[in-house]
Amino acid sequence: MKDAATTASPAAPACPAAPASPAALASLAALASPAAYAEAVATAVRAAAAYYADGATPLGDDEYDALVRAIEAYEREHPGEVLPETPTGKVAGGAAVGDVPHSAPMLSLDNVFSAEELESWAAGLERRLGHPVAAWCVEPKLDGLAVAARYRAGRLTRLLTRGDGLAGEDITHAADTVLGLPARLAEPLDVELRGEVLLTHEQFERANAVRTAHGATPFAHPRSGAAGTLRAKDRAYRLELTFFGYDALGLPGLDHGDLLARLAELGVGTAAGTQAAPRRCATLAEVEQRIGEIAGMRAALPFGIDGVVVKADAAADQERAGSGSRAPRWAVARKLRAQHKVTRLLGVEWNVGRTGIIAPRAVLEPVVIDGVTVTYATLHNPADIERRGLMLGDQVFVYRAGDVIPRVEAPLVDERTGAEQPIAFPEACPRCGDAIDTSEQRWRCVRGRGCQTVASVIYAAGRDQLDIEGLGGTRAVQLVEAGLVTDLADLFTLSREQLLTLERMGDTSADKLLAAIETARTRPLNRVFCALGIRGTGRTMSRRIAAHFGSMAAIRAADAEALAAVDGIGVEKAAVILAELAAVGPLLDRLAAQGVGVGVTEPAAAVTAPPTAADQGGSVGPLAGQSVVVTGSMTGALADLSRNAVNELIERAGGKASSSVSKRTTLLVAGEKAGSKRAKAEELGVSITTPEEFAVLVADFLP
């Protein structure tokens, strides 16, 4: 029987807390004196205690890892000065406790931080074994809480936290809230499962919505949510979690890959059903490749990970390698850069968008997240600020995944000093000083688009809308400040004489701009509609609306029911679009008078409604009935097309362009540097094609 190794709990907390500031920690990293070493140990001990209490901690993975490595380095150089409370060499950094003994030690994992360190660790393992490792198993390092679930005759009898590795807390009361942890196994076995309990991203959002509805503070991040939920008793609400098994006591002799398959047979949740599924690798080169793949799909995973676990797959190798007092010698965690950090909320800016939406933006003390320095983060809307209970001066969790705009998750309420101040909401429009419409969650200037004429004109003239060459930001400001343009329709009334009054506007420039404006009159309906900047629509939705109705007159005549029938709109969004259309009615009348968007109908092949059986003969194009997603850089015949142009091409060929991969996706066009979308398509079994192959398929519809 082998010792269990967690896939989510490193040698030390993944995100522990300490009162020390980042600057103080930077000075601690040197540890040039016994005093600096003692302060570092104290900081790490406080950090681990906070982390294993509820996970809501103001120190990120990278800072904590650097601190513990500095402590380890000092202790190697000064073995006679090692303090008894040091976190090194202890499960959970020596912080977690429990009162129910484990049937076998529940260990942590050692960490490596680079390919070179992983190679060195693997070489050391093979020296210990006396032969090359037969095979490796590579799996995601889940960011949750390690637990042990005891079954007797196939029935769950007790659920424990890992605690200090020797004893854990009894959390059996929470077992029925954990998906993937069955009350009864498929067979009547006596077995103890080891695994990770976490909140998926979806469960995290749902949990915070439920908590705030009951007047509770939102969880700071998924791990703290999982820790708090597992320990909570007598709540007035129920929150769902997820279990991923990775080991078991009572199923001896199975190689790791076979053990995971056996757990699945018993009805236990494992990571095998995700795109980051555990994989056997024959060589270390294959291990590194798989680590890169999992790191690349990290942003698309439905749960958080903070690394990748590499294990000797063979049970014989694991038994021969054995374990130390804190970690198995046959497994290691390859840490990834943190995606969430703690920093300070310095202020809130209120920006007015082109449609008059007033959006708050967090001003942060600069912090590096996943290799990017983050200074600003989204706060969504005033209601979101109130829901999260944010205050100026708060230490806050900031999350960034992939290319997603950073967002503020929640404040660390326990870290407040009393100096924090309430966030002041604007009483008038920050840009024009007019009144604010607060009837919806997203506040809006009562002047709507009139508040941001320059932004509206720049947007309308953009490449994917009317594509008016020569009408950039500087020129738009000139036109508006000169009083020549008050809205989009005014562009089509400009004369040569008016343009020549503008600074740095010569004869040639004026003629070119007028020619570009004249060309814009004949843009397809979908581009004209998109140029309006209707809330609830964008490039893709504008194409669908134009294809569905065929003319601007038909769009304007549509009621809520007709709009809701357009794919992707629905009843709620239809009401918003209908109100927007009414608001821009005078503008549409003026555009029609200038011949803009009048009598323009979409090609029949662009209709996005599902084709009938009679249509399948090809009259709606080669992509009839297909949902197509494009990702990566396009090459070949598609290289010069913008993403919007490629999406238009898809819909001209009878397909439906989508921005995300889902079970409805039938085809992925994967260009160079295709990342998480390709990984998800592979997981879902979606057909994948290259830009060159796709160009051949839709050759008759290429511009």
Active site residues: 141
Q: In 3-state terms, what secondary structure has residue 525? A: helix
CA pseudo-torsion sign 461, 464, 470, 476: positive
| CA dist., res. 284 & res. 456, Å (int) | 54
> How many other β-carbons are positioned within 10 Å of the β-carbon of residue 522?
11
| CA dist., res. 491 & res. 483, Å (int) | 11
The DSSP secondary-structure symbol of 272 reads G
| CA dist., res. 464 & res. 457, Å (int) | 13
For residue 557, which amino acid is it?
A
Nearest one of 627, 623, 648, 624 to 638, comparing CA atoms: 648
Instruction: State the number of CA atoms in the 13 A half-sphere of 168 facing the CB.
Output: 28
Q: In 3-state terms, what secondary structure has residue 317? A: helix
CA pseudo-torsion sign 438, 442, 448, 451: positive
Block residue for tokens 């393992």? 125
Token pair listed for 651:
């819909």
Helix (H) or strand (E) holding 305: strand 305-312
CB distance 182 to 267 below 8 Å: yes
CB distance 460 to 373 below 8 Å: no
Block residue for tokens 């039938």? 666
Provide the terminal-to-terminal Cα distance of the chain, rounded to the nearest Å: 65
CB distance 147 to 279 below 8 Å: no
| CA dist., res. 631 & res. 633, Å (int) | 7
| CA dist., res. 402 & res. 572, Å (int) | 30
Nearest one of 397, 133, 469 to 286, comparing CA atoms: 133
| CA dist., res. 390 & res. 274, Å (int) | 35
By CB neighbour count within 10 A (0-12 exposed, 13-18 middle, 19+ buried), where does 8 fall?
buried
| CA dist., res. 138 & res. 237, Å (int) | 37
Rounded to the nearest 5 degrees, what angle is found at the Cα of 381, between the Cα atoms of 378 and 386? Answer: 105
Token pair listed for 211:
């908590």
Q: Which residues pair with 672 in a beta bridge?
A: 633
By CB neighbour count within 10 A (0-12 exposed, 13-18 middle, 19+ buried), where does 51 fall?
buried
Q: In 3-state terms, what secondary structure has residue 156? A: strand
Cβ contacts of residue 404 below 8 Å, gap of 6+? 299
CB distance 577 to 555 below 8 Å: no
For residue 103, which amino acid is it?
S
CB distance 588 to 554 below 8 Å: no
Helix (H) or strand (E) holding 441: none
Nearest one of 149, 467, 147, 140 to 277, comparing CA atoms: 140
| CA dist., res. 689 & res. 308, Å (int) | 29
